[in-house]
Structure 1
Amino acid sequence: MKDTQELLNILTLEDIGNNNFNGDSRDIGSPNVFGGQVLAQSLNAAYRTVPKERILHSLHSYFLEAGNLELPITYNVQSIRDGGSFSTRRVTAHQGEKTIFILACSFHKREDGHEHQMPIKKDIKQPEELLSWTDMLDQFGTFLPKKMKAFLSIERPIDFKPVQIVNPLDAKDLPPVVDVWFKLKGDSSNLELAIKQQILTYISDYNILTACLNPNASVANFGNTQMASLDHSMWFYRDFDFNDWMLFSVESPNTYGARGFACGNIYTRDGKLVASVAQEGLMRPMKR
């Protein structure tokens, strides 16, 4: 995938009737289906069953089995409740007889209320000061570990610019923090909020577990640690545009027992808090 339209083509599912939807997968450089894709496709299915005026405000999910890139995924939506203000849906993703993923999500009608938010980090480097993944591949590709070089070589519909550049050849422990600017490639204007939330959910599964790896980076890396998303939750607050860079600011409070936990906030460049994310992931050291 190289731009926003190709991403939307993957996220938009085929309606096969009775609240069932089919979707295909794309390789992003890992051996299994990308968790962000399953999350976003599940939301696409759920959104197709709720009243038009209701907007997603939260989701909670579990990844049960690794998805096979060669097989289609079928999403079944259960209508749990449609109340006066909220609608709740449960989505189950299947490949053949295997259930690979479950999602619960809630939609809310628009209402007015009190407001506050946590501010964006002060004095954080701006995207124009930073290298993108493509820039890093171009400048340092000869020196990068084989797996990292292969991962960065995959064409994606999103540009990522990490604030903290880590030298993979200088293994040392780092703070449990990751800040990454991101921006969609191609035309992202005139998108409905429902579509923007699906895209943001797709993006939210990138980068987040890196914060769990950082405190042990002197001995642990992507090459010797088995990593996978176990669960994923999000809360959505405000409308936003993809026309400018956005910041995903992540920290990891804890890693223990071959699992790492990370949480973060997603901001527009002007500091508007759009969403919060929490994820626990597998962090299993590989035995030699």
Structure 2
Amino acid sequence: MTDIARTAAAGLDEAAGGGQAVLDRLVDLLDLEKVEEDFYRGVSPAHSPVRVFGGQVAGQALVAAGRTVPEDRRVHSLHAYFIRGGDPSVPILYEVDRIRDGRSFTTRRVTAIQHGKAIFALSASFQKDEQGLDHGEPMPDVPAPDTLPTFGERTAGFGLRFTERPRPIDVRYVGEPPWITRATGERPESNRVWMRADGTLPADQLLHVCVLTYASDMTLLDSILARHGVYWDVDKVLGASLDHALWFHRPFRADEWFLYDSTSPSASGARGLATGRFFAQNGTHIATVVQEGLLRVL
């Protein structure tokens, strides 16, 4: 393990709450160690749940893919499957397969490996900047993020275990969060949160995309649970991401506010589907996400 990796693994555990120190350690976690050509190694923070956080392995895999792509090509989509739960106590090996290098598009496939087995698989496509048709969905009319309570203020007194972990992403719920709507009997059809990296990020556009990828796995499945009045840490819910797809429409900065508007069109067979749209604070539609999750209510 490199010195950077050791610092990152320990630092996220030592830093409390959020802020620049916690964000810097997330950036360190995304700065993978090159082991060999097309092979990279990543680690998890010491303060981790039983499994590796899905947004972390997706972000690290995208970093591995991006390290093999020319800088003039931006990632525009990724498709991923979560195959096995990751072990946060050991490093993750990322193997990059250079599928295609075309004149306009570059395609990469990344396999994340632990204990000799694949735990995650990602395909990502990168494109040179081009001019073309341009439109996007309008952003919902919501209050500005600075007028909303902080995540700490929203969770105070509820005894939710996930709030104990350091948080590199500042999250502000637009409406009542799902652990409150569960108690009031409301069944909201959407889950809307403002998000931003809790500090300042370097200018590297790939890093901003990877941080948004990390954040995209934080609240998406909440839109499914809220429809049924159940929630993590309050009810007996077993959940895991099964697959994840993201499309990046326009450049953005992940350390500036973006609205994450998510809904769930369907749930059945112990699986739920959630979709989400990301908007910059000026209303620009910057990304779209779809995820299916395993959700067992015990």
What corresponds to 1:11 in structure 2?
A: 30
The 1:36–1:205 alpha-carbon spacing in structure 2 relative to 1, beyond 3 Å, is same
TM-aligned CA deviation for residue 5 of structure 1 = 1.6
Contact 1:26 1:33 in 2 (8 A): no
Contact residue 182 and residue 231 of structure 2 kept, 8 A:
no
Match of 2:170 in 1: 159
Corresponding position: 1:229 with 2:241: yes
TM-score by length of 2: 0.88
Contact 2:209 2:254 in 1 (8 A): no
Mapped pair 1:172 → 2:204: no
Cα deviation per residue 1:58-93 (whole Å; 9 max; x = unaligned)?
000000000011011000000001111111100000
Structure 1 runs of 4+ with >6 Å offset: none
Mapped partners of 1:185, 1:248: distance in 2: 16
Alignment of 1:137-156 (within 5 A): 137=155, 140-141=156-157, 144=158, 146=159, 148=160, 150-156=161-167
Return the offset for 1:245: 1.5
Which 5+ residue runs of structure 1 have no aligned equivalent?
none
Amino acid at match of 1:44: V
CA deviations 1:112-161 (Å, max 9, x no partner) are: 11100000002x12212211211223xx32xx1x4x1x211222111101
| Helix, strand or coil at the partner of 1:241 | coil
Q: For residues 27 and 136 of structure 1, do their structure 2 counterparts lie closer, same or farther at Cα, with a shift above 3 Å needed?
A: farther
| CA distance, structure 2, for counterparts of residue 243 and residue 96 of structure 1 | 35
Matched, 1:46 2:59: no
Q: Number of residues paired by the alignment? A: 275
Question: Does the 8 A contact of 1:229 with 1:282 survive in 2?
Answer: yes
Instruction: Spell out the pairing of 1:70-89 with structure 2 (5 A cutoff).
Output: 70-89=89-108
User: 5 Å matches for 1:1-288?
Assistant: 1=12, 2=18, 3=20, 4-26=23-45, 30-122=49-141, 124-137=142-155, 140-141=156-157, 144=158, 146=159, 148=160, 150-166=161-177, 167=180, 170=183, 172-188=185-201, 190-217=202-229, 220-222=230-232, 223-286=235-298
Q: Distance in 2 between matches of 1:242 and 1:234?
A: 15
Q: Per-residue CA shift, 1:197-227, capped at 9, x if unaligned? A: 111111111100000111110xx32131111
- 1:265-284 alpha-carbon deviations (Å, 9 max, x no partner): 11111101111000000111
CA root-mean-square deviation:
1.5
Give how far 1:98 is off: 1.7
Identity of aligned residues (%): 37
Task: Classify the secondary structure of the residue corresponding to 2:276.
Answer: strand
- TM-score, normalised relative to structure 1: 0.91
Structure 2 residue ranges without an equivalent (≥5)? 1-11, 13-17
Q: Is the 8 A contact 1:176 1:213 kept in 2?
A: no
Letter in 2 for 1:277: V
For 2:182 and 2:284, the matched residues in 1 are separated by 36
